[in-house]
Structure 1
Amino acid sequence: MLTPTHLPTSVWATAQANGPKQRRDRYTPTSTTHPARMLPAIAAHAVRTYTRPGQLVLDPMCGTGTTLVEAVHLGRHALGIDIEGRWTAVTRANLRLARTQGATGTATVTTADARTFADPGRHGAVHLLLTSPPYGTAVHGRVDTTRDTGHSGLARYDSSYGTNPANLAHAPTDRLLTAFTAILRTCRPLLAPGAHVVVIARPWRHHGELVDLPSAILAAGQAAGLLPVERCVALLAGVRDGDLVARPSFSQLQHLRTAREAGLPTHLIVHEDVLILRAR
């Protein structure tokens, strides 16, 4: 069996255009209020790589529906689940927009807790589960500076995933991983034999300590009976003449400066880890 440190890997050039440009005219303006949005190019690459037209894609924590929108634009069908009705409403609006733009796939969105979601009619029908759990919430959201507001200090907004106490964004890392394992176990009956599970995550620092979420997610997948097959890198920076062009948010830069002032040898993260598992 391959161990997490010996998995095949590849680099996905998914940020040749920045996030706002990727989303422009393809997603409703309300989508930007979600504190952490998957890059559309990451979702599109995963859908193209691991499915064929007409197959079903599942996102059990769909947020504003990036997975679903990219799937239906590529002629796949999609199923999305999110615990916050606010975000499933935004997802439906994004899917309506996709239909007006000629998307040929269909999608269903449900407001539910994916840990207890059941859909016996779709057992064995899903060929790709693609999702990104909430993590590192301190660096999510948007920030206005004094230059933006005219007032001293920083104004942070759009940093809340929601108010439901069962939302995993409110959970400490150990509970998040336990719950994520439960989600994968609940979703396993929906997966076709050989279906892929693709999870987007990255490490972050909490009170100066590195949280290796990607490795923990691989362990969660194995605990749910899935087989790790790849560990890839999805770039958040553009590639220009052989160099990386970073596009960090203000929050990321602020945390980087704070860490370095505290003596921590922290560097800017310009990629997402892509953990790829397969149903047995």
Structure 2
Amino acid sequence: MNAPDNNTREAMASVLATGQKPSRIQRKGRYTEESMRHPGKMLPAIAARVIEAFTRPGELVLDPMCGVGTTLVEAIHLGRDAAGMEYESDFAAMTARNVLHAQSQGATGTARVVCGDSRNITTAYASLRGEVALVLTSPPYGSYTHGHIKSGAKSSGGKVEKSNHRYSTDPGNLAHQHMDELLDGFGQILRGCAELLTPYGVVAVTVRPIRVKGELIDLPGRVTEVAERSGLALTNRLAALLCGVRDGDLVNRASFFQMLETRRAREKGVPACATAHEDLLVFQAARDLNGGRR
């Protein structure tokens, strides 16, 4: 891949209107119904915008933690080729079915997925060394997420039931590690992905701040530190909206649990806000910025 031209760079505004439609609407008909149960899916609009900005048709996009294959599906719909890796076998199988579904709808790109630990991605995808134009991924946020809810009738006390809120029950999954170990593992994954990039390849990570036991964690900042220790240099930091924009106002798309946690924090005097965007962190290999690969 040649160096990204100025027009490509300028096409990425600092704030991306990627939440104009709710996630379920973005996915309806484009993904299999079963894949909706994954608890931490990337917004398809985010994936599509990044892929369009940093790659050209025919180039290769990689997601080392591909979940149910959002990155792969959006890439092949845009005429790119794609590769993914996923630790959980059931999610890897969903990715394969989502790819087949996309191709049945006319997606022209090709895609492959392997099941395994992405800390070993340079071994799993050794044949792709120097071929990847874009790595697009998101770190796990822990073994539990907000998932889906079902509210009971008032006659039953209005009890809220959670479902699809666990990435995995396998303790070997990186999501089960404490935050420091999780980030160390993610850094290892980024380091491996960097070895697969073309000379001017890009690594893009979507990530948002999280609360752990009530404490706000600057996860974007920590991911940036980890990436820089892994030989990557931050070249841009953008905001990909999870909320919609209508007539100059924001349309809240925060989940039930985000709103609940925000309200509880405010009741304790903590100036909390519901998450309305994800940070989009854009990196290149530091050695590439200093005159190309050695």
TM-score by length of 2: 0.89
Which consecutive residues of structure 2, in runs of 5 or more, have no partner in the other structure?
1-11, 289-294
1:129 is matched with: 135
Alpha-carbon displacement from aligned partner over 1:194-225 (angstroms, at most 9, x marks no partner): 11100011112222221001011111111111
- The yes-or-no answer on 1:146 pairing with 2:169 is no
- For residue 89 of structure 1, the aligned residue among 68, 93, 103 is 93
Change (3 A) 1:83 1:138: closer
Alpha-carbon displacement from aligned partner over 1:209-249 (angstroms, at most 9, x marks no partner): 21001011111111111111000000011111111111111
2:292 is matched with: none
Alpha-carbon displacement from aligned partner over 1:157-185 (angstroms, at most 9, x marks no partner): 10111122221221221111100001011
CA-CA distance at 1:23 after TM superposition: 0.3
2:108 is matched with: 104
CA-CA distance at 1:152 after TM superposition: 4.1
CA contact (8 A) 1:228 1:278 kept: yes
- For residue 69 of structure 1, the aligned residue among 69, 73, 80 is 73
Mapped partners of 1:48, 1:80: distance in 2: 18
1:4 is matched with: none
CA-CA distance at 1:151 after TM superposition: 5.8
CA contact (8 A) 1:126 1:190 kept: yes
Helix, strand or coil at the partner of 2:221: helix
CA contact (8 A) 1:208 1:264 kept: no
What's the % identity of the aligned pairs?
A: 48
1:195 is matched with: 201
CA-CA distance at 1:9 after TM superposition: 7.1
1:184 is matched with: 190
Within-5 A mapping of 1:233-252? 233-252=239-258
Helix, strand or coil at the partner of 1:54: coil
Change (3 A) 1:148 1:276: farther
- For residue 59 of structure 1, the aligned residue among 63, 67, 77 is 63
Mapped partners of 1:255, 1:189: distance in 2: 40
- For residue 276 of structure 2, the aligned residue among 270, 275, 278 is 270
CA contact (8 A) 2:142 2:177 kept: no
1:219 is matched with: 225
1:32 is matched with: 36
Alpha-carbon displacement from aligned partner over 1:64-115 (angstroms, at most 9, x marks no partner): 0000000000000000001000100000110010011000000000001010
Mapped partners of 1:136, 1:91: distance in 2: 21
Letter in 2 for 1:76: R
CA-CA distance at 1:143 after TM superposition: 1.3
Letter in 2 for 1:69: V
Over aligned residue pairs, what C-alpha RMSD do you find?
Answer: 1.7
Mapped partners of 1:141, 1:151: distance in 2: 21
1:209 is matched with: 215
Which consecutive residues of structure 1, in runs of 5 or more, have no partner in the other structure?
1-7
Helix, strand or coil at the partner of 2:194: helix
Of structures 1 and 2, the one scoring higher in RCO (CA 8 A, sep 6+) is 1
Letter in 1 for 2:72: L
